[in-house]
Structure formats: structure tokens, C-alpha cells
Amino acid sequence: MTSPYDYADASQWRGTTILSVRKNGKVIIIGDGQVSAGNTVMKGNARKVRRIAGGEVITGFAGATADAFALLERLEAKLEQFPGQLARACVELAKDWRTDKYLRQLQAMLIVADKSETYVLTGNGDVVEPQDGIIAIGSGGNFAYSAALAMTEYEKDAETLARKAMAIADKICVFTNGNTVIEALDSKT
């Protein structure tokens, strides 16, 4: 049975923009704080970007908050099972997410990163590594992603690039606000 939730339908990802940038020795995940119910802003300062695995992994989520927390708990368990193997932990979580009757119903997406790798995880079983070190999810994800790609040649600092791209998404996407949370790690790439 396929999920009734269409992960590709951006109209279903309201209230969040999460962006990751890996550049010049840093990996950044930045997310806005807006939570919307339909056309109403419910909260403006939600924290959708966090550190897990003892601070060695940073993550951001889009979608249903409770579902995202359930997935983050499962990811932490996978990281304990496969220490230092982010790719393996993500693939194992994606397999469970795709095949487990309970997990299949969870409606969220995750961006996860450590010092070496960045991935997007979806309920479709996707574990996607960005081609150029930039990836985004959520209702304003395409705006933030496009802005970051456009500026990557001109902006050398990963955090500055991420903040500028999020500011552009905030101006375009009504489900994104300028109240951001950012986490960073030193990167091997």
C-alpha cells in the first residue's frame, strides 16, 4: 500500500523551510520557526533544527512535528547501532520507514548531516545526498535552495550563504518566517 501523502507535493509542506549548506570546511543546517495551520500562523519560534548523537549529527525536519520526533528517535537508535556510519544509519531508517506499518504513516522529511555527509530522508525510502553540498526541504525549500545555488559562487562562507538564502525564502514563501535556528559543524569537505 502506498502512502496517501505525496512527498513531492510542496503544497503539503507548509510552515517550514530547512536548508543545508556544506562549503569551505563547514556544514550548516538552518530552519525557520513558523508553524502554520492552513493560512494561520500558529507559532513563530519553533525549533526544527537540532543536534543529535551527542552533538555529532545535526538535523532539520519538515512536516508533522510528532512524526519528525519519532523519526529522530529512530535515527538516534540507528546511529547507536552503527556508530560513525551516518549513511548506513540513514539507509536502515529509510528501509524501516518504508516497510514498517506504523512508520509508513509518518509524514515528515529530514535533513541530516555529520562532518562528512549530508542526506535527505523521506517516507518514500529516499536517502538522497546533495550533488553540490546544498539541499533544502519544506514549503520554502525550493526558494532557499535556488537562492543558495545562485549565491554559492559569490559567497564563500557557508553560514552567511545559508542565512542570505533563508532571508530570500522568507520574502517569497508565506509559510516561512525570518526567525531562524542554525546549527553548524566543522566539515571534512
Task: List active site positions.
Answer: 16
Category of 33 on φ-ψ map: left (φ > 0), alpha (ψ -120 to 50) or beta: alpha
Among residues 8, 186, 24, the alpha carbon closest in space to that of 113 is found at: 186
Write the CA distances from 148 to 2, 9, 26, 50, 181, integer angstroms: 33, 21, 15, 21, 17
Backbone angles phi, psi at 34, to 5 degrees: -80, 135
Question: C-alpha angle with apex 125: 17 to 86, nearest 5 degrees?
Answer: 75
What is the maximum span of the chain, computed from C-alpha positions, in angstroms?
Answer: 46
Q: Which of 17, 25, 8 is nearest to 147 (CA)?
A: 17
User: How far is the C-alpha of 61 from the C-alpha of 110, rounded, in Å?
Assistant: 5
Task: Report the run of H or E that residue 164 belongs to, with start and end.
Answer: helix 158-172
